[in-house]
Structure 1
Amino acid sequence: MDARVTYWEEQHITCRKAQAAFSPPEPEQLIVVSDGVYERDMVQGVRYASPPHMSG
């Protein structure tokens, strides 16, 4: 549970720094993880318009 709270706080801090709204995906929405994420490559988060069952 401590990790969840830490991640939640870090996400809010990042959004404030970027002047972006905090908008996490809903539990029933699908997400995609790009190649390289698990290998610790650079990651860029982008959301595109998508159907309601996906996070964008």
Structure 2
Amino acid sequence: MLDLIFNFASGILHMNLRDPHDIPFALPLVFSAVLGFIMGFIMLHYIGNEHKSEKERND
């Protein structure tokens, strides 16, 4: 799974994320922050929809 993420991100950023000399210093920090934000947003979106579904079933 990690290889898939690295390959996908390497294609987008046009750099080899497995090679430490090809990565700027702050890129892993920025990449992890952006990835965390996106994953958190998706999780919260689905949790919100789950609560709406439960309310509709109870009504």
Regarding TM over 0.5, the answer is no
Q: Which has the higher helix share?
A: 2
Highest RCO, 1 vs 2 (Cα 8 Å, sep ≥ 6): 1
**Alignment TM-score, normalising by the size of structure 2:** 0.32
Which of the two has higher C-alpha Rg?
Answer: 2
